Chain A
Amino acid sequence: MTHLVEIITTSDPHLRNRSLDAFARQADMGTLLEECAALEDFRKRSGNLYERVRALFFLYAIYRFHLPAKPEMPKRGLIPFEGYEHLLSRRFEEAIAAFQRAWRAHGPSDALASALAEAYHRLGFQTLADQVRRSVRTVRGNQWMFRIGHPADHPLRIRRELLGAKADAGAGQDGLSRISGGVILRERTPVRMDLSHSAWSDIFFLGMDFPEGARVLNVSIDLAVRGRDAAPRPPVEAYLRVIDEPVLRLTSVDLGATADLTHLRDVFDFARDYLGLLKAAIIASGIVPPGMEGADQPLSELLARLVAPGYGLELVSNVNDIPKGSRLAVSTSLLACLIACCMRATGQARSLSGPLAEHERRLVAARAILGEWLAGSGGGWQDSGGVWPGMKLIYGVLAEEGDPEYGISRGRLLPNHKILDEADAGEAVRQTLQDALILVHGGMAQNVGPILEMVTEKYLLRSEAEWAGRKAAMQVLDDILAALRSADPRHAVREIGRLTTYNFFGPLQTIIPWASNLYTEMLIERAKQAFGGDFWGFWMLGGMSGGGMGFIVAPEIAQQAKARLHEIMLDVKRELQYALPFAMDPVVYDFAINPVGTRADLLCGEEALMPAGYYALHAPRLVKLDSGALTRMRRADLDRFANATRSRPEFAGMTKVLFDRLLPQLDHAAGSRDAGRSLEELLSAFGFDRAMHEQIRADLRSGRIGLAQNRLPANVQIEDVSACSPTSDPSRPLVDATDRAQMGEFERIGAEALRDGRVAVMTLAAGAGSRWTQGAGVVKALHPFAKLGGRHRTFIEVHLAKSQRVACRHDARLPHIITTSYLTHDPIASFLVRQPSLPEVPVHLSEGRSVGLRMIPMARDLRFQWEETPQQLLDEQAQKMRESLHAALIAWAQRSGEGSDYTDNTPMQCLHPVGHWFEFPNLLRNGALRAMLDAYPNLRYLMLHNIDTLGADVDPAMLGLHIARGACLTFEVITRRVEDRGGGLARVNGQPRLVEGLAMPREEAEFALSYYNSATCWIDIDQLLGVFGLSRADLDDGDKVNKAIRAMSARMPTYITLKDVKKRWGHGQEDVFPVTQWEKLWGDMTALPDVKVGFAVVPRLRGQQLKDQAQLDGWLRDGSAGYVERLCGWRD
């Protein structure tokens, strides 16, 4: 048995918990390859789920991190397109087989290793997800729901109490004439906050493999937004009643959405509206069992059986305006609340009112997990903790005989709950905790999903530092439990504050550095300064910080501290608003521990009222109807509501709300504004070219341009390019600059040019980083993305620090031009002024002079993108969600007018940058180049690079190579990995050039190319001016410059792209829309026959780009971060 297989199979915990990294670092390449072969064989043979999964993650890590680090590993290689297609279609086993075949046929390569790593990683997660699904389905009490496929078989009946008082007086066969309605079942559920989750131990995979380490201490709480609500109350509510229409009426009061469902298929269409959570609850509670998915009967048949012929059900959700991203599991709590309500109504819980019994709470939790799976979301197993009362320890349990997991995984899917009693946490301690804790929402709404994946991966790999972190986090939970038992409440809470702070800065960040961010750390620092010794600690809630968070202070200052903390949060948010994605202004909560858990009440007679917001949504529509069109129950409901507006304080003010809804105020129609400026004002300020825009719109609508038209003609010949030594024949276009031994002479030439002040850096920072924050519209250049040199650093800081180091070493001045756009100029300018310890490099800004206006996409382009280009298939449920969403978005585009201006968002979100081809012309237009040449008369060369190419610096050897070869433009390329999609270096009809991914005539053509564009380009200024038909002397002549730019622009292709843009609304809610924009790209300069172009292969660490935050963890672990750090010279 090989060493790694032994680690996986042993029952000895010391060996089992041994780190892969420690072994793989010292092993040579041959040993690693032998281990891989053994692991591959083992994972196919093993019948045990977790052995298989661990072997898959070991294989992933070896191919992703360890083999590429071995010096003898060949870099260049081709990834078979066949394997890539399998990968996209989630046929992971077939993908692995295809990559392995290529490996055997052509030998190992970095490219193939990256493809294998990706396939193993995804197969590992797929295997785990499949097991969770199987377990959820096999929980007793859930199985029947997957067997029921026809409404005639529906085994549930609505509780008679909900049919109204007269039902008891005896009904006929169908009970029709006797149902009076007018009874509402209301469920109210607290949310949960976790004192410690033992380092995300609530993720299913961890609980099912390592139940001993899966423990969470969580507290059920009621909430109020400070300054808005009178007192804390359970934040989520569900209302259910029988209605005299044969429909399923769903209303989400908090999202302002309602729909009457009439067919079974409507219930399974999750993304069609904002009612996905309610639909998931309807399904997971068995009202419409999951086994009916795909059936097409009218719902009336099912409702006739469940309720009575001609009758239906209404389900309403209400969240008391708690913003998204609160890290309090609001959506899971709401799902559990809705499920509990539906289960009570159908007799699946014994009591119609009051709390639930323990076995019922467990079933609600299991159903909530099922519901989350159905709706394509995912939470931890503790997230429905609010269903239970007070404080409780939730812990993983070993699977035993009779459990569906027995023999498959070590632990059960569902944990156990121990409710803490007076001896575990005395009343005084609870009260002091309540008095000392300030609960806030910092305003950031981020996706915690990638973090949970990282946790799973790191757990399975048992890397030394992270495993030590996990053990430390487990100890923190024990220490908090001990503190809660303390007889001295102040001491107890102070100790908890110390422990949660230690947990955040210690174990949690050791495992996942991305749990923290600059915003959080600035808040903690300023809170410490403001409250001094009365600051007792920081408490990260949920999966990451920035949204819901806790600050613990001495109870006596808590009230003032709340106000002060609110000011601090607002201040820091203002400072970072362009750097980090904030969804809303920060809020401070009041909260109270809820000692009951979820509870229900039966509301009868005049009490039978929906929440006020329900009537604000429904009443305006109903009053527009003829009263004869209202059903008996609706009329009665409106009567009760009318009485309530006169007599009940919570309905006071509803008359005004209704009037406002009926007669919307005029200024809503005037459109929104950004910083006081309207869209029209912004367009004219940023140099919007209306004539060009209309031309593009006409071309787009007529089909002359579009996603399909971006492509080169199908008969174009695309071939790979081979590299030669840097010292060989200068006519060869691609040289291999990775061999430093060959670069000595160039290094000397470059160093000399540096000393002479012949070079400057041009950093492209005009973009909003749409992939980086999924279209949140922040400035990527200013994102403090990682800690380097001991502090969070922005992209700009890193680039300046590299130049500072180079300048220092070569005793040179190395000026920077940072190109900006309408979106990034002011924030970057203000950052450069404000930031105290920026590297000492001369910085000049080049403000963008072109802007585009986004358009509603053509349905044709949406279909092309989603249906004709290979798309990553998601897992089953997520794929259904996506298809439903795509249909909704195509309908949106058609409804809104394809190709019309996109104006339904904040004005800044309606504009778009027009591609980096314009950056050099901008230098000419805005005078920045002339100013630079005046200030640095020796300046001849520019190193142009993207903001996210963190490894690019002014390497004298590269500069020297560019100078020696005499090219106008030298582009740096890297060997390709599987994630490097989007074109590359190709010989197109015999001519080497860069081809954008958009322009590839066929998907597979890209897979025949070994090299990928790093987007770093060395420019000979005078030669390039010559290409534009200009000289240095012409730079003063604006007209000549403009004419030259227009002429050159006309030679460049225009690409149509779809970008995701976020639209924010409500309390931290966000929708993402695909919009059309266009761009011209710098790489296309290589296609001009009159430009002397060269290409150089550079090391991957130098040329790789950081496009997605999900790449950060791998970037930190594979040595990339260390490489960048070594290039930087910091001032602090």
Chain B
Amino acid sequence: MKITKAVITAAGRHQRDLPLQTLIDRDGIQKSALQIIIEEIITAGIHDICVVIHPGDAEAYAAAVGAHAHRLTFVEQHEPRGYGYAVLCAREFVGGAPFLHLVGDHLYVSDDAEGIACAQQVVRVAEAHACSVSAVQATRESLLPNYGAVGGKRLPNRPRLYQIDHVLEKPTPTEAEQTLLVPGLRAGYYLCFFGIHVLTPAVIELLAEQAATNADTMTLSDALARLAHRERYLAYEVIGRRYDIGVRYGLLNAQIALALAGRDRAEVLAQLVELLATGAATAHPHA
């Protein structure tokens, strides 16, 4: 299986501006978040990219990615029917081929010793196993309200790989404990989505079936839950970190992470230390 296409979703009501935010990337260059995401995709060897957007956002997005604009296909999402529907909007673009999917409000920093980017790690696994793969990260149960989560078992002799049996969107810890326990994880930790997936055409079919029922809100997790019963579907525990730039201080966190993982690490560290030293005297501690 060869992955040649990628889909970024960025049409969400409260997410439209996020990809346009500007950050300094690891090389010390100022870029939009969207551009950083696109470069993550390109590193994985994919050059044909679709961005699902809110109607009318194409121009601003194209401007935000600079030299990469020519690689992008913009698809407008006209009905606010949820995340799953946004992915379905790219149906024509993917045209029956497997594709890499990233969300438009996350940035990633790889911790891989060889420096393999997060998206690239996932694409390699998917190509090797010829099936859908979702990147996951062991996440504390207190964060379950923010993520989709999977349950399953480890693949023998395949570190970081899991056979997915169940998928739940933003589960309560009660549900998670009953269906999503994964042997080998610490108590209270679950495998939550990382925001990177390689999806087979079956997912688009399942989303289409869901859309045909006129559901008001379609989650990707529902389609993935059914996918787990239909075909082989793996989870891969990525060597890296994700940063949700849509939450409070998310952008700041992402920026610091990028900076500390890049060329200007020493400079930024020095600034942080100075900030801590001078800020400590005036801070209002909240226990």
Contact = CB atoms under 8 A, between A and B. Distances in A.
A147 B13 CA distance: 35
B172 interface: yes
Contacts of A359: 178
Contacts of A343: 174
B178 A140 contact: yes
B145 A147 contact: no
B175 A144 contact: no
Contacts of B142: 148, 152-155
Given A140-B181, A156-B145, A147 B187 contact: yes
B175 A348 contact: yes
B172 A347 contact: yes
B178 A346 contact: no
A155 B172 CA distance: 7
A155 B177 contact: no
Contacts of A144: 141, 173-174, 176-177, 188
B172 A348 contact: yes
What does DSSP make chain B's interface, helix, strand, loop or mixed? helix
Interface string A104-128: 0000000000000000000000000
Interface string A133-147: 000000011111101
A155 B141 contact: yes
Nearest to B144: A155
B276 interface: no
A359 B141 CA distance: 21
Interface string B135-152: 000001111110000000
Contacts of A140: 177-178, 181
Contacts of B141: 144, 147-148, 155
A51 to B, nearest CB: 30
B248 A173 contact: yes
Interface residues of A, number: 23
Contact of B172 (A142, A153, A170, A346): A346
Given A144-B188, A173-B248, A157 B145 contact: yes
A730 B176 CA distance: 82
Nearest to A285: B174
A156 B173 contact: yes
B188 A147 contact: yes
What does DSSP make chain A's interface, helix, strand, loop or mixed? loop
Contacts of A145: 173
A154 B172 CA distance: 10
A1064 B14 CA distance: 58
A154 B188 CA distance: 12
Contacts of B145: 155-157
A213 interface: no
Interface string B158-196: 000000000000001111111001000001100000000
A141 B174 contact: yes
A1106 B248 CA distance: 69
Interface in A338-384: 343, 346-348, 359, 363
A1117 B188 CA distance: 51
Contacts of A347: 172
B106 to A, nearest CB: 18
Contacts of B181: 140
A143 B141 CA distance: 12
Interface string B100-129: 000000000000000000000000000000
Nearest to B247: A173
Interface string A145-188: 10110001111110000000000001001000000000000000
A363 B142 CA distance: 20
Interface string A209-253: 000000000000000000000000000000000000000000000
A143 B140 contact: no
A776 to B, nearest CB: 42
A387 to B, nearest CB: 16
Given A144-B188, A147-B188, A170-B13, A153 B174 contact: no
Contacts of A154: 142
B175 A143 contact: no
A162 B13 CA distance: 21
A1035 B172 CA distance: 83
Contact of B178 (A141, A148, A170, A286): A141
A277 B178 CA distance: 26
A173 B141 CA distance: 22
Contacts of A173: 248
A141 B179 CA distance: 9
Interface in A1084-1110: none
Contacts of B176: 144
B27 to A, nearest CB: 32
A363 B174 CA distance: 9
Residue of B140, B176, B178 ringed by the most chain A CB atoms within 10 A: B178
B178 A155 contact: no
A155 B187 CA distance: 14
A172 to B, nearest CB: 9
Contacts of B13: 170
A141 B187 CA distance: 13
B167 to A, nearest CB: 15
26 contacts: A140-B177, A141-B175, A141-B177, A141-B178, A142-B177, A144-B141, A144-B173, A144-B176, A144-B177, A147-B141, A152-B142, A153-B140, A154-B142, A155-B143, A155-B144, A155-B172, A155-B173, A156-B173, A170-B14, A286-B172, A286-B173, A286-B174, A346-B172, A348-B172, A348-B174, A363-B178
Given A141-B177, A141-B178, A144-B177, 7 more contacts: A140-B178, A141-B174, A148-B141, A152-B142, A155-B172, A286-B174, A346-B172
Interface of B: 13-14, 140-145, 172-178, 181, 187-188, 248
